[in-house]
Amino acid sequence: MSRNSIGKNIVLTSFGESHGPFIGAVLDGFPSGIKIDTHGLQLDLNRRKPGQNNITSPRAESDIVQIISGIFEDHSTGAPITFLIPNLDAKPQDYDGLKKTYRPGHADLLYQQKYGVRDHRGGGRSSARITAGWVAAGSLAKQFLRGNHSPKQHNQPIIITAWVNQIYTAVCDEFSEIPTFDQIEQSPVRCPNEKMSLKMIELIEAAKADGDSLGGKIRCAIENCPIGLGEPLFGKLQAVIGHYILSINAVKAISFGEGFNVANLKGSENNDEWILKNDKIGTKTNHSGGIIGGMATGEPIVFDVAFKPTSTIAKVQTTLDNDLKMINLEATGRHDPCVLPRAVPIVEAMTNLAIMDLLLEM
Amino acid sequence: MSRNSIGKNIVLTSFGESHGPFIGAVLDGFPSGIKIDTHGLQLDLNRRKPGQNNITSPRAESDIVQIISGIFEDHSTGAPITFLIPNLDAKPQDYDGLKKTYRPGHADLLYQQKYGVRDHRGGGRSSARITAGWVAAGSLAKQFLRGNHSPKQHNQPIIITAWVNQIYTAVCDEFSEIPTFDQIEQSPVRCPNEKMSLKMIELIEAAKADGDSLGGKIRCAIENCPIGLGEPLFGKLQAVIGHYILSINAVKAISFGEGFNVANLKGSENNDEWILKNDKIGTKTNHSGGIIGGMATGEPIVFDVAFKPTSTIAKVQTTLDNDLKMINLEATGRHDPCVLPRAVPIVEAMTNLAIMDLLLEM
Amino acid sequence: MSRNSIGKNIVLTSFGESHGPFIGAVLDGFPSGIKIDTHGLQLDLNRRKPGQNNITSPRAESDIVQIISGIFEDHSTGAPITFLIPNLDAKPQDYDGLKKTYRPGHADLLYQQKYGVRDHRGGGRSSARITAGWVAAGSLAKQFLRGNHSPKQHNQPIIITAWVNQIYTAVCDEFSEIPTFDQIEQSPVRCPNEKMSLKMIELIEAAKADGDSLGGKIRCAIENCPIGLGEPLFGKLQAVIGHYILSINAVKAISFGEGFNVANLKGSENNDEWILKNDKIGTKTNHSGGIIGGMATGEPIVFDVAFKPTSTIAKVQTTLDNDLKMINLEATGRHDPCVLPRAVPIVEAMTNLAIMDLLLEM
Amino acid sequence: MSRNSIGKNIVLTSFGESHGPFIGAVLDGFPSGIKIDTHGLQLDLNRRKPGQNNITSPRAESDIVQIISGIFEDHSTGAPITFLIPNLDAKPQDYDGLKKTYRPGHADLLYQQKYGVRDHRGGGRSSARITAGWVAAGSLAKQFLRGNHSPKQHNQPIIITAWVNQIYTAVCDEFSEIPTFDQIEQSPVRCPNEKMSLKMIELIEAAKADGDSLGGKIRCAIENCPIGLGEPLFGKLQAVIGHYILSINAVKAISFGEGFNVANLKGSENNDEWILKNDKIGTKTNHSGGIIGGMATGEPIVFDVAFKPTSTIAKVQTTLDNDLKMINLEATGRHDPCVLPRAVPIVEAMTNLAIMDLLLEM
């Protein structure tokens, strides 16, 4: 119980169900006196909202966020900031059939077993719709990190960028550079590689037509982290980022730098030698993904995240019903054939919150 | 600051430096009245201690643990349990050369930058020696989980087993079954596949002779988790396990079930259909690694962990010294050419603590 | 920062400002499957709301609470429960004069100094109006505690009762018994002693007419606490209750049992001897106020709370303005000449939350 | 469970039992690079140790503290600081009689009821001996606060001073000024009023001769707190200090400024008007005890604490034994006839820790 909050210095508390009147979040610990760009915040939410195009869920939600506390005359006051996002296109009746059915890959059955009761409407609390509040909170963290507000004379904006690196068989080559926001956003799937972006769209459309869904990978880069960010022992950068990212629906893996490939390497291949670059400390290579001993090396922090294919598919599956009888299921409700394009702003939001939490402690 | 504790219901606080008089830990929240097997606890520590054989660090530490509080007449009292482990074979003078040198792949430089001061002796606080206290604490958690002490009538022992799955080019095939403790322990590298175990030993010996080091993978399985273990939203099983495991020195990635392979799958391939097995709820397949929606499905929980090759190598490397001048470095101090064999009990310990933390909340 | 939550097992997060669109709260950790009496919850809020009678603030707020998450078909689901209470009779323009004035006894100046910015309207975040969300949350805790839902076979409802014991010169004698709800509620000042209740009303009316305000004391009793409730060392009953109660606006002191009078006693006078009462463990006397070693003895827990007189008074006072110039101030805005009658449900709410937090840990 | 830690930014974890090999504490979050005066630390411990003179417990403990981590070459490293204090004069056999007896006023019975098991030797975990570790930790906090290490350009040492204000019938008049350390320490009972100090000694000697014990009051003052210290809502100065102080053995009440006397006051009498003093913000009077809205006003923070008379007395008392049979008890074991003189450094330690915790968050 009482695990709906995350963070130590800047605490996100999440609330709401997919088909209740509102979902939302409280963000506590945001410093006072920061000018808030509510328009920019809404733009971030728009990147996550459903119905953006024909490869996302058709649920029509404008996801207009209302900030009901903590901001006064466009500035943060130091009080908790509360976001309310109405559920306008809730169609709970669509889910009546699910009252008595446990969908494969979904947590319906586990909620029922754990709590003895559940809000079955559209996944209730387990719906990824909940993440809209996280994106709102993460957007404020982004504004903070980009605005040079960090302590200890670290006067460079910290920039966090995520993009889609793989969807099913469409796999990007490594980027030699971190893509720009525009390169990412011009792709409906948020993949900056134009050729692969087109292939991803094709794959998603084909999966959709076939009543199926696709998984993939998102890469995220953090630029300009101050050297030493991250707290030994249990506030290590990778552990804190891991906690935030592994909390996102459908995530099954996270890796930093070389990730699982370190298993194939020798120390002499994997070690990053310390050097000076324009009088600043850095490393010659960045196999470590910018993290050593749980702390930032000054190099870009790079990590990869695996998302499973959407569990809701139109194909017939066998499953159990409320009486634990075997039944056949054809999914109803609205959903995305591939979650990755809309997951990009969620990964960014959670990473911004994780980094801000650690930065406030430096 | 103040990030040397982990856990909500059973809290591990870690203290000590590699070459101070003691390292240790406090375990707070352990229920009262549990019979403690201190001999079994010492056996777990012995699996982690250096000098076990000629492929581990030659540092000669008996790692005899003294329990100075919380246990009375062989039973836990509900008070915090404190473990003290003396550093007997500390050779701080071995590290005099490191006073002024920042080793590649190590956190020396970052500690110095972050704190302005550091205990340079043998890695100080960043040494993996610190994990001896974690293994002691994890051993008690193991005794609790195996002893059917869990709440809510879950009367099956929860068994957590880790083993080495890969070292460099020696890669195990998938196991159809979870190996037994004896199968694992009869291998000096803790790989239950005899043929691969021999190859791993050869690879490590060759790397050692060459002044190099090797990375690898550990797999961990959790059997008999009660259905529904794990707390939405931010206490999800994968997020909590992730936080604990990504806190272990040298870990660069964690994945659950299919892990990064979900990126290559369709929903119809990846979904685990709910079924009854002998009247108990389960899933037909276990692509999810026993976790859906952050909660245990009742199937074995399976995850993989990547460890980087030991950063300390005898080969010459370039790096920076205290004056940020480029120098050549040949490592001194004692170390393992491959950390994986000794990391197995650490992965088990952290997983036992993570699972116990969530179980106490059910 | 990030101090707007309280509790470990059942966490109250408070948000909102006195003159924003809503104030509210999130209650996380409430067990699932509990039938919720929303009508009863509203009745508790009505006891706190302004405008109840002519000795309370004339601000006309119906304080109708909307629950927007965590309850489905009249039962708790285990998800966070969110309360929204609109500010309907907000008159921010009343406070325009206070934009530039720091009121004595109020935190205006300190908010400005601390945060560099503040919502000056009606006290903003420091307004006692915020406690409406606490009362909503506390009402659910009350329903839980009274419903025999506690763990470990403690099958008696835990009853928490607060009442006014003193207002200015009207001081009640000790009660030999804990008063009933009806005895308390039939008094507009929530003092169960009829004679003193009448005197208190007279005193408040006189203070109001004179543009002044009055302080007083509330006593609170907790019946049927299970023996051993409270957690050594830093979760002692008195420390946890103290944290909750000292968080209430205007509270300046808390004492348990004999309280400050222990300073005048010998051990032989103050010790409570252990006895059996109808085969149940108890103490012959209850000088300790039902708490020894931080744990419940089984006897009623009794504590006293001091509330200062309302800081807003109509009398002319000198103070500082925004430019730190001395000025004369005559208060504007609506307020209570004595906060105690409306503070009774707040003390009860916070105590219910504190006790529930500890009970969930037993 | 897991309530043996206190603090958010600087966390004290307490461990040990009265008659185990060691008691101690871990202090996590102490900033790096602070020069530590270990001699000064020991002097603080000496103020708390038993056997100081013939009005304290005759238990002969030198209470020499060993710091086993977190300090290197006389400076804090940012790692957790661990204190070990051996129990040298433990006489567990003295307590054999208490194996089967529950002492009035002590928590023996409650530990047994709560945990089903207990370390009966000298109170075990509930012994005030545990506070030696708190005093060690608090001494470091004191060194930090006095050393001008606080953030945000608050460049004045924060000074925390406690003294005995009352023992039984010996009651000090109000001090117009905060006494000096020397004025306090020259009195064996730590009362700076010479006449009252003598009377207190007489009263304690008489009580001791009579096999009885005495209660009293300690006052504590905090000078030079930065304006705005304390965090709305649940990190209010009085609530945080309250949590720390109410965790000390034998404390039954805490009050700030006028304390319970506010019940007797009108707003026009109790309000502190804001003024400038030498161009610094302050208040004309200090009825509030230096705290308004949970934050420091800049005036001295003043609070009072009530300690009950020692529960262990030599007089015959009736009580229950392990079989819940009524018995007569004459106390054995060593104890203080009045805890107040030795409680002064404990109050100071906990207050230093509370203030440092909040200061690190400013």
Render pLDDT for D51-64 as a digit per residue (tens, 0 to 9). Answer: 788 787 777 778 89
Is B212 within 8 Å of B89 (Cβ atoms)? no
- Separation of alpha carbons C72 and A256, rounded Å: 41
Chain D CB contacts of A232 below 8 Å: 79
Calculated CA dihedral for residues C107, C113, C115, C116, nearest 10 degrees: 130
Extract long-range pairs of B39-42: CB within 8 Å, 24+ residues apart. Answer: B40/B139, B40/B143, B41/B65, B41/B136, B41/B139, B41/B140, B41/B143
Look at residue C297 and tell me whether its pLDDT is greater than 80: yes
Query: How many CB contacts within 8 angstroms connect chain C with chain D?
Result: 336
pLDDT over threshold 70, residue B281 = yes
Q: pLDDT for C169-183, tens place per residue? A: 999 987 678 999 999
For the segment A306-321, the average pLDDT, to the nearest whole number, is 93
Q: What is the mean pLDDT of residues A80-95?
A: 84
Mean pLDDT, to the nearest integer, of A116-143?
91
* Residue pLDDT, tens place only, A218-271: 999 999 999 999 999 999 999 999 999 999 999 999 999 999 999 999 999 999
CA dist., res. D151 & res. D37, Å (int): 21
Find, in chain A, the residue whose alpha carbon is nearest to that of B311: A267
Determine the Cα–Cα distance for residues B130 and B9; give it in Å rounded to an integer: 22
pLDDT at C124 over 90: no
Burial of residue C279, with CB atoms counted within 10 A of its CB: 0-12 exposed, 13-18 middle, 19 or more buried? exposed
How confident is the model at residue D151, as a pLDDT? Answer: 54
**What mean pLDDT comes out for the span B192-218?**
96
Interatomic CA distance for residues C38 and C143, integer angstroms = 10
Give CA torsion, residues A61, A64, A69, A70, to 10 deg: 120
Query: Minimal Cα distance from D10: which residue of A?
Result: A361
Query: How close, in Å, is residue B162 to chain D by CA atoms?
Result: 27
CB contacts of B8 in chain C (<8 Å) are 8
Q: How many Cβ contacts (< 8 angstroms) between chains B and C?
A: 3
Q: Which residue has the tokens 């996270």?
A: A254
Is B273:A318 a contact under the CB 8 Å cutoff? Answer: yes
Asked if B16 and D115 come within 8 Å (Cβ–Cβ), the reply is no
Provide the greatest CA pair distance for chain C. 68
Which range, B117-121, C218-222, D96-100, D358-362, has the best average confidence (pLDDT)? C218-222
Q: Residue B169 and residue A113: Cβ atoms within 8 Å?
A: no
Residue D226 CA to residue D298 CA, distance in Å, equals: 6
Distance from the Cα of B137 to chain D's closest Cα (Å) equals 14
Strands (E), chain B: 5-6, 11-16, 22-28, 66-69, 71-72, 75-76, 81-86, 159-167, 170-171, 216-223, 251-256, 274-277, 280-283, 291-292, 295-296, 301-307, 317-320, 326-329
Contacts of B5 in chain D (CB under 8 A): 5, 11, 13, 28
pLDDT category, C1, cuts 50, 70, 90? very low
Q: Note the pLDDT of residue C357.
A: 97
The H-assigned helical ranges of D159-193 are 181-185
Query: How much of chain D exceeds pLDDT 70, in percent?
Result: 95
Q: What residues in C contact A70, CB-CB < 8 Å?
A: 15
Collapsing DSSP states into helix, strand and coil, what is residue C291? strand
**How far does the CA of residue D29 sit from the closest CA of chain A (Å)?**
10
| Cβ pair C69:A20 closer than 8 A | yes
In a mutagenesis test of the D interface, which of B6, B27, B69 is the best target, namely the one with the most D β-carbons within 10 Å? Answer: B69
Q: Which residues of B touch D74 (CB under 8 A)?
A: none
What local confidence, expressed as pLDDT, does residue C97 receive? 73
- Sequence-separated (6 or more) residues with CB below 8 Å from residue A219: A162, A163, A165, A302, A303, A304, A305
Query: Using alpha carbons only, how large is chain A's radius of gyration in Å?
Result: 21
Q: Which two tokens stand for residue A204?
A: 């998603």
For B72-140, the DSSP string reads: ETTEE-SSPEEEEEE--S--GGGGGGGGGB--TTSSHHHHHHHHS----GGGGGGSGGGHHHHHHHHHH
Average the pLDDT over C152-179 and give the result: 87
A299: tokens are: 């190099």
Nearest CB among B14, B20, B117 relative to D68 is that of B20
Whole-angstrom distance, CA of residue D271 vs CA of residue D263: 13
Please tell me the predicted confidence (pLDDT) of residue B153: 53
Task: Using the predicted structure, report yes or no on whether residue C150 has a pLDDT greater than 60.
Answer: no
Please give, rounded to a whole number of angstroms, the shortest distance from the CA of D253 to a CA of chain C.
4
Q: What is the mean pLDDT of residues A135-153?
A: 84
pLDDT of residue B1: 47
Interface test with A, best of B102, B266, B338 (most A CBs within 10 A): B266
Confidence tier at B90 by pLDDT (50, 70, 90): low
Residue with tokens 């299970």: C226
Instruction: Sort out which chain A residues have CB atoms less than 8 A from C69's CB and list them.
Output: 15-17, 20, 22-23
Where are the alpha helices (H) located in A279-325, listed in sequence order? none
What are B223-259's pLDDT values in tens digits? Answer: 999 999 999 999 999 999 999 999 999 999 999 999 9
Q: Which residue has the tokens 């708490």?
A: C291
From the list A1, A23, A70, the residue facing C29 with the nearest CB is A1
Per-residue pLDDT at B124: 83
Residue of B nearest to C360 (CA): B361
Residue with tokens 């690190």: D360
For A323-335, what is the mean pLDDT? Answer: 81
Q: What distance in Å separates the CA atoms of residue A330 and residue A271, rounded to the nearest whole number?
A: 51
Of the two residues B139 and B102, the one the predictor is more confident about is B139
* Confidence check: pLDDT of A152 > 60: no
Give the pLDDT confidence score for residue A86 in this predicted structure. Answer: 94
Half-sphere exposure of B136 (CA within 13 A, CB side): 28
What pTM did the predictor assign?
A: 0.97
Alpha-carbon distance of D196 to D203, in angstroms, equals: 10
CA D196, D198, D203: angle at the middle one, nearest 5? 90
CA distance B163 to B341: 8
ipTM of the complex: 0.96
Contacts of B79 in chain C (CB under 8 A): 232
The predicted structure's pLDDT at residue C5: 97
B5-42 per-position pLDDT tens digit: 999 999 999 999 988 999 999 999 999 999 999 999 99
Find the residue in B nearest to A116 (Cα): B228
> Residue-wise over A284-296: b if at least 16 C-beta within 10 A, else e?
bebbbbbbbbbbb
- A 10 A CB-CB count for D189 gives 26
pLDDT band at A146 (very low <50, low <70, confident <90, very high): very high
Shortest CB distance from B75 goes to which of D7, D31, D117? D117
Least CB–CB distance from A260: residue in B212, B217, B270: B217
Which subunits sit against D, judged by 3+ Cβ pairs under 8 A? A, B, C
Residue A232: exposure state from Cβ atoms within 10 A (0-12, 13-18, ≥19): buried
Read off the amino acid at residue A172.
C
3-state secondary structure of D325: coil
Radius of gyration in angstroms for the set of CA atoms belonging to chain B, rounded to a whole number = 21
Mean pLDDT of chain B: 92
- Smallest CA–CA distance from C120 into chain A, residue: A72
A262/B307 Cβ within 8 A: yes
Q: What share of chain C has pLDDT > 70, as a percent? A: 95
pLDDT, residue C336, reads 86
- Closest B-chain CA to D21: B68
pLDDT digits over A48-83, tens only? 988 788 787 777 778 899 999 999 999 999 999 999
| CB nearest A3 (choices: B130, B233, B276) | B233
Rounded mean pLDDT, D118-140: 91
Q: What's the pLDDT at A269?
A: 97
Choose the closest CB to A33 out of C24, C66, C117: C117
Q: pLDDT tens digits for B115-138?
A: 998 888 877 888 999 999 999 999
Model confidence band, residue B152 (pLDDT cutoffs 50, 70, 90): low
D1 pLDDT higher than 50: no
Considering only the beta carbons, identify the residue of B234, B246, B267 that sits closest to A247: B234
Per-residue pLDDT, averaged over D44-48, amounts to 94
User: Looking at the predicted structure, is the pLDDT value of residue A203 above 90?
Assistant: yes
Residue for token digits 């030999």?
C176
The whole-angstrom separation of Cα B31 and Cα B143 is: 12
How many angstroms separate the CA of residue C67 from the nearest CA in chain B?
20
Chain B residues with CB under 8 Å of C295 CB are none
- Cα dist from D285 to B243, D273, D300, whole Å: 51, 7, 11
Across the interface, whether the CB atoms of D270 and C228 are under 8 A apart is answered: no
Asked if B297 and B288 touch (Cβ cutoff 8 Å), the reply is yes
Q: Spell out which residues of chain C touch residue A115, defining contact as CB-CB under 8 Å.
A: 32-33, 77-78
Instruction: Judge: A306–B260 Cβ closer than 8 Å, yes or no.
Output: yes
Task: Enumerate the residues of chain A whose CB falls inside 8 A of the CB of residue B212.
Answer: 266-268
pLDDT of residue A362: 86
CA distance linking residue A61 with residue A129, whole number of Å: 10
Which of C252, C223, C258, C250 lies closest to C341, judged by CA? C250
In this prediction, residue D123 carries a pLDDT of 79
pLDDT at C154 over 80: no
Find the mean pLDDT for residues A293-298: 96
CA dihedral A284→A286→A288→A290, nearest 10 degrees, is 100
Query: Is D163 a residue whose pLDDT tops 80?
Result: yes
Quick one: pLDDT at residue A1?
47
Whether C114 and D228 lie within 8 Å, measured CB to CB: yes
Res D119: pLDDT = 85
Sheet holding B81-86, edge to edge: B5-6, B11-16, B22-28, B81-86, B66-69
pLDDT score of B159: 96
